[in-house]
Each structure stands twice: as C-alpha cells, then as structure tokens.
Amino acid sequence: MKTILKKIGLLAFSVAILLVGLEIALRVLPLPPQADPTADRSPVFFSQAVDRQHPWSRGASNVLRIAVIGDSFTAGVGVQKDDTYGARLERLLNFNTGAPPAEVHVVAHAGTSTFQQRKMLPEALDPPPQIVILGICLNDMEDWTHPQKIQRWRDEWMTPVPSPFQAFLRRHSRAAAFIAARRWAAGSAARCVAYYRHLYDPEGAGLLRFRNAIAWFRDECAARQIAFVPVIFPLLSFDFSPERYPLQFAHDAIREVCRAEGIPGLDLLPSFQGTSPERMQAVPGIDPHPDEIAHRIAAEAILAHLVERGLVARAYQPAESGGNAVVHEIWQRTIQHVRCAEEAPPPADGMEQP
C-alpha cells in the first residue's frame, strides 16, 4: 500500500510540476503572432444594379430560366453575390454560343429551414422558371416551432457551461484556460454529431416537417410542369472522405425522404470528397459557410447533374480547354517534392541537405 501511495504521490507531484511549468511558459513566453483569419474576406459586399442583372437574357424571348431557393448557403453568406453557386451556374450556362441564354434567379433567406422556404416559391415563380433548385443544408431539419428545444441542443454543442470552480480557474490560470480550450476543441466534433442526431431523430418533428415540405415543393412544381431538383450540401467542417465523414446518416435520411417521395436529387458530398475542409469554408474554424471554391464546386456539379438528367440540353455544357492538365501535373510534382523533403531523415554529418 505504501508503494502504491508513493507512486500516486510521485505522479501527482510530476503533474503539478508540469502544470506550473505550463503556467510559467504561457505567462512569460511571447505568443506567436496570429494572423487575422478574416483578413481575406471582403470588407464590403457589392450589390449589382437591377438593370445589370442577367445580362445574357436581357431582351431575349427564348430564355432558360432556373430558380434557386435556399438559406444562407444559397444566399452566399461570407462571399460576394457574384461568387454564389447560383451566379456561377448562370455564368456556366452562358459560356457556349448556340444555346439559348440562361437566367438563374436566387431567392434565399439565411436561417430558414426547408418548410419555411415554401413561402419563397411565389417569388421564385415570377417569372416562371423551367427548373426549381432547392438548396438543402443538413440543419434544415431544425423545427423552429420549438425554439427552446433547438436552442438547448445548440447550447449543448456550442457553449458548454463551466462549473463555478472551472470558471474561477480559467479566469486566474492561463494553464487552466489553455487546457479547457483544448478539451473543448477535442469534444466539439462529437457534440456537433450529437446535435445532428437530435435533428434526425426518425420520430422527431423536424424530419416530418421536412418530408411534408419536400413533397409540397414537388407537387407545386409538378402542377406547373416545372422540374424540381433538391441539392444536398454537406457540412463543410469535417473530412469528406467516406470513412471519416461523421454525418453520412443525415445525407442518407434526406436521400431516403426524396426516394420515398419520388424526387430525384443531387447529393454534393461526393463532389467534395478529396478536398480540404479548410479550403471550403468562408473562415476556417469560425464560419463554415461555403467560400468561393465551394460555390464553384457546387455550381459545376449542379450543371453536370442537370445535363445528365436531360433537364438542360448538352449544348449548355461548357467545352473543356484542357489547359489545367499541365498545371495539375506541376502541383502534384511540387506536393510530392515537399512530402519527400519532410519525410527524409536528417544527414548523418549534421550538414543541411541541398
């Protein structure tokens, strides 16, 4: 027993020494300069004059019209309006000569769920489009008729409340604040997944409201002979690879609703696989709305889907220039060179490698 107590005491003493050393280091050593992660975001957003919108279709009678309905992803929170996937889709559709001019009308309001977006359809139908695209985000299962429940789940995910003792330690100890921040970050992904598990409860009201809303959009569009295309966006703060992406269950649930209601759609998750989540976010780790790169990927995938399904003619598919093959080859060689340099062992004589 004495031996065990001695070992426990030695361990406690070692931990205490480490904590004291961490506290001293955090107070004495200068913090490395931190770049502003929002510095590359536009300080202002520009609005296009009404008479300058949709320049390709102005005055034309044979216009291909597409309406896009959605929330903050579709509205383009964090990026310029001409960088949103709706605007990029319009540009792509107007690349080729010989195809009728195309116009993409975006109707989107941040913070809305799918069942709330039904109110946007009348605006999207003026003028009448041939196609209605519905941008679906994974949090569209939020049932805002019960705001207290949603807010409680969000608080469990985003802002775990420390005990009075923990709050005291964080205020007076940099080591305690440092460790608490690392623990919070380590558990953030699990709490996020738990939040979405709540939203996708098969017996929950959010999934039922989504099902009813998606069927309503289908029926309203079918009554007007308009093609209805749901498009599912992944959450952009996780690794998109199939073996690591933790919200596949949410995509499966949405696709199952669409399948059961007879609504073909597009899941964008495969289009993002192989990309870096940090390069997809408006402000990595702070604002996971899609940045310009993510909007471009979405627009290209949507156009390919529309062409594949015959909803738009193949004449709208932009011709490939092929010029990027050489650039990609240079990038891959550079990446391989950097990785080899990082993995190479140091020279035996201590001399730097050339």
Confidence of residue 185 (pLDDT cuts 50, 70, 90): low
pTM across the whole model? 0.83
Phi, psi (deg, nearest 5) at residue 113 = -100, 170
Number of residues written out for the chain? 354
Q: At what angle do helices 174-199 and 147-158 cross, to 10 degrees?
A: 140
Mean pLDDT score across all residues of the chain: 88
Q: How far apart are CA 8 and CA 80, in angstroms?
A: 59
Alpha helix positions (H), the chain: 2-28, 72-75, 85-93, 121-124, 147-158, 164-172, 174-199, 205-223, 248-260, 269-272, 277-280, 292-308, 324-343
In this prediction, residue 180 carries a pLDDT of 63
**Which range scores top for mean pLDDT: 28-37, 50-59, 188-197, 306-315?**
306-315
Residue reference for tokens 């605006």? 123
Min mean pLDDT across 93-102, 135-144, 252-261, 345-354 is at 345-354
Residues 1-49: tens digit of each pLDDT: 778 777 777 777 787 787 777 667 767 777 677 778 888 888 898 988 9
Q: How far apart are CA 73 and CA 159, in angstroms?
A: 23
Min mean pLDDT across 186-190, 193-197, 282-286, 323-327 is at 323-327
Domains in the chain, CATH or no CATH each? 52-143+205-316 (3.40.50.1110), 147-192 (no CATH)
Confidence of residue 228 (pLDDT cuts 50, 70, 90): very high
Contact 215, 115 (CB under 8 A): no
Residues 82-129: tens digit of each pLDDT: 999 999 999 999 999 989 999 999 999 999 999 999 999 999 999 999
Residues 42-69: tens digit of each pLDDT: 889 898 898 889 999 988 989 999 999 9
Residue 327 has pLDDT above 60, yes or no: yes
Min mean pLDDT across 36-40, 194-198, 221-225, 323-327 is at 323-327
Q: How far apart are CA 68 and CA 228, in angstroms?
A: 10
In this prediction, residue 339 carries a pLDDT of 76
In this prediction, residue 345 carries a pLDDT of 64
In this prediction, residue 352 carries a pLDDT of 45
- Give the chain's largest Cα–Cα span: 93
